[in-house]
Chains A and B, each alone.
Chain A
Amino acid sequence: MQQHTLRSKGVIHFTNQSTRPLNELWFHLYLNAFKNNRSLFLRNPFALGRSGQTLQEYGYIKVDRLQSAKYGSENLWLKSSPHSPGDPDDATDISVPLPAPILPGESVDLNIEFTSHLPPVLERTGYAGSFHFAGQWYPKLAKLEPNGHFAHFAFHPHSEFYADFGDYDVRISAPSSFTIGSSGNRMEEKTQKGIRTTRFVLRQAHDFAFTAWDGFQVLSEKIGPVTVRLLFPSWHQANALRSLAALRFALPYANELYGPYPYETLTVVHPPEAGADTGGMEYPGMITTGGLWFEPYLGSHAIEAVTVHELLHQWFYGLLASNESETPFLDEGLTSYAETGVMEALFGAGSAFSGVGLDVSVAALHRTNAAFYAGDENIGQPARQFTGFQALGGLVYSRAATILLTLERTWGKAKLAAALRSYTARFRFGHPTPADFIASIEQGLGANAGQFLRTALFERGFIDLKVESIASRRKPIAQGFWTEGAPQVSSQPPATDRESKQWLGRAVVVRRGNLKLPFDVALHLKNGKTERRHLDGSADSLVIDYQGASELSSVEIDPDLKIPLDQDLFNNARAVAPKPARRALDLLLTFAQLLGLGVLP
């Protein structure tokens, strides 16, 4: 523990489930991202990952031996490629040539020995004092696609992971004063000479992580059939209890929506401050949260939001194991969308923050963040192609979630929920692609919804609805000549038009961007009543005419905010005579006066 080094050995039971013989194996040595400052992960000081931090000490993973009875006593690793393809400074994507091919359907046992040296905590792995978090700590076989190609890639700072499902049977030894938390079920423990060895078993999962610290408090509770085990520093008890309360609601809620949680145990880790960068991450059967110890007292629901978000990854990542490197929106976007639903069900309109008379929802935060990056880059592109992690966050997390919220509010919540249920059922323990996802939505919501998704995700979809102009006037009294049967000419208009008490109104509405969505327009009248018009949204611009007994006062597009994707919400409304913002002035004046009086003494 003092050396922050893991010495490991084990057996990989591998079956070639593809249709082609395999002449090589590909391993991801993710920990080598922290081997030196020239790795793909660390080399660009302007493109650091999520934390934006640099390393002072380095970490690495070294495979000492890879051997199989099929190939005799030969250490296969000796012939492995020394670096990632075409990148001599990076060693996160390594191929191992095989002396003889592994045939389709054939199984081999690979004995492996390796050493993992953890760096100080950075990007979800490492140590901080005696706190250790081992994520991506072992040589991980790249995902073998059905066509016999390995989906392998060097570890990019924007990227996450992709792997096959498998069963993990892991024994972890650590000083007995340490509490171990991990993916999987704790099976048995034995302590010898101050070293405790714990066995964990995790079936049908595509990753395995663990943490060890001598400062953890432990809290366990059964939620339905699942044992939730929380590990947290003693001073984060309030946060742990809030996480637990959120899970009591969210776990059954998600089970209902997306199918049952697949494991017996869920380990929830709240890291200490020094290891905060390991927080906010998902592993099968294990999630990490985060937040300040005093956050529960400030009206923010950030602790619950991160807990719910990571829990929902158990479906959108854990069970539906899409390629996080190639299409990150499939896990992060769907999870962020699902998070808004759970948080709203849990806390209502103030799902992100509630206090001082204000409610801020998670959906509103996503909408705002999404609008900053609208149309900049394709949401559906691979993680490595994003210009920075901020853009990836804005598009893959927030904009994808906002796209789905728009879909939900426009096509109906129940319909989208049914489509997602069908998607999660069909690809449970599978590796869905964007095409699979869009096809599922198309099946549930129709071809227009599918087209909307394709444009929004892959064609930098954009929409901005705007009231271009508004006018209102009394209907003119009829004047001129009227012919009532030739050759008579009357200068009198028809009786009904002689004294008009009617009002006419006209608003011009325009739609910018390549997304077409139906929307409502509210016509507000001076007598306090409102008329609604439903437009199919296919036209680029259109004129809305009004005639009635009351004067048209203002027009608002999408008054229920069914299209949160709309780029500018303030050009959605226009009034014949804009209202003065007296309340805003009063509020500002009050605070300016308070400031003046506060500074003056």
Chain B
Amino acid sequence: MTRAARSAVAVFGFWILSLVAGLLLSLPWFSGIEAQGVGGFADGELVLMRQGGAYLLEMLRLGSAQFQSLLLPTVALGLVTTFIGLIPIAGLIVAVVSETGGSRSMFSRACGHWFEFSVLRILTFSIQGVVLLTAWWLAQRPAPLGWDIRQANGLSLAVLGIAGCLLAVVGCFQDLVRVLLVDGHGPRSLARLIRTAGHVARSESLKLLAIWSVLAGVALFLTGLIGAGSLAWVRDHTFATWCVQQLLFVGLILLKLLWFSSLAAAVARERYTRSV
């Protein structure tokens, strides 16, 4: 199986998982909306979009207890799908770093990395959580006396912005370590793993930053398109519009694949440089 074919299978698998996870997460909420009786109206759930928002607010009022009871299970389910989702992520990386193998071996290799990816994910979540909480705490602190509210809010926004950058850096570093873990030539001890990741980050940081920025920009644009499109298309919803949205999702997964390819190339370059 060629690398392109493996990649296509990995992207498809990722999309299927996002669809299944999305359905699992959204179906209880969907049932909550249907239970309000929107189906009894001639215009169905479009009643929620009637001018003035009275029916939308009514749904939130009448369904508030049900929706509140769904919050915790949704978060729990979200966490579970996040960890199950590590398999298709590993699949994407396996697809771009492997020289040979079919879809079955790709899947088994991806499953084989699930545990270490999970540990890595917990570690990353913990660091990101600390960064977020610290930033939130700093942003909530009173501004220096004599500052006007714009300066105070600007400082808070700057703190949150810096935290956002840190979250992205930690996330990127996680991806790099993932690639190193999947890469057959990767180091076997934690210390060497971190050292190698550090080397790659140092020697390739500018290139990676440039690639990440472009990919993140495109991803943001696609996300905005999907989100805004969903709302805009609610009134004229058809199967075709749904297909367009799903194609955009596939686009997002392809961006992820490109990112992993860039990381794999950076790792290979670094290994070559060190060997020379």
Contact = CB atoms under 8 A, between A and B. Distances in A.
Contacts of B33: 581, 584, 588
For chain B, what secondary structure do more than half of its interface residues adopt (helix, strand, loop), or is it mixed?
helix
Contacts of A361: 51-54
A569 B230 contact: no
Nearest to A525: B42
Contacts of A359: 51-53
Nearest to A574: B40
Nearest to A578: B39
B253 interface: yes
A594 B148 CA distance: 37
B179 interface: no
Given A573-B37, A573-B41, A592-B21, A583 B234 contact: yes
Interface string A47-91: 000000000000000000000000000000000000000000000
A99 B18 CA distance: 86
Contacts of A578: 37, 39-40
Nearest to B77: A592
A279 to B, nearest CB: 14
Given A368-B58, A586-B230, A590-B227, A575 B41 contact: yes
Nearest to A523: B42
A310 B182 CA distance: 65
Interface in A420-454: none
B37 A585 contact: no
A554 B41 contact: yes
B256 interface: yes
Contact of A357 (B82, B148, B232): B232
A426 to B, nearest CB: 32
Interface in A232-282: 233-235, 272-273
A579 B52 contact: no
How extensive is the interface on chain B, given as a class? 35 or more
Contacts of A234: 148
B270 interface: no
A458 interface: no
Contact of B256 (A367, A371, A599, A601): A601
A233 B39 CA distance: 50
B42 A524 contact: yes
A367 B61 CA distance: 11
B42 A589 contact: no
B19 A593 contact: yes
A376 interface: no
Interface string A262-305: 00000000001100000000000000000001100000000000
User: Which size class do A's interface residues fall under?
Assistant: 35 or more
A594 B18 CA distance: 9
Nearest to B145: A129
Contacts of B253: 597
Contacts of A14: none
B223 A364 contact: no
Contacts, number: 191
Interface in A349-386: 349, 352-353, 356-361, 363-365, 367-368, 371-372
B130 interface: no
B150 A367 contact: no
Contact of A591 (B21, B42, B53, B230): B230
Nearest to B58: A569
Contacts of A356: 228, 231
Interface in B85-115: 85-86, 89
B23 interface: yes
Given A358-B53, A361-B52, A363-B54, A272 B149 contact: yes
A566 to B, nearest CB: 10
Given A293-B149, A358-B53, A584-B45, A568 B30 contact: no
Interface of A: 233-235, 272-273, 293-294, 349, 352-353, 356-361, 363-365, 367-368, 371-372, 467, 522, 524, 530, 553-554, 556, 561, 564, 568-571, 573-575, 578-601
Given A583-B45, A586-B237, 10 more contacts: A361-B54, A554-B42, A573-B41, A575-B40, A578-B37, A587-B231, A588-B33, A592-B23, A593-B22, A596-B78
19 contacts: A233-B149, A235-B148, A356-B228, A368-B61, A554-B40, A556-B41, A578-B37, A578-B40, A579-B45, A581-B34, A581-B45, A583-B46, A587-B231, A588-B26, A588-B30, A588-B33, A592-B25, A595-B78, A596-B85
Interface of B: 18-19, 21-23, 25-27, 29-30, 33-34, 36-42, 44-49, 51-62, 78, 81-82, 85-86, 89, 148-150, 153, 171, 175, 223, 226-228, 230-232, 234, 237, 242, 245, 249, 252-253, 256
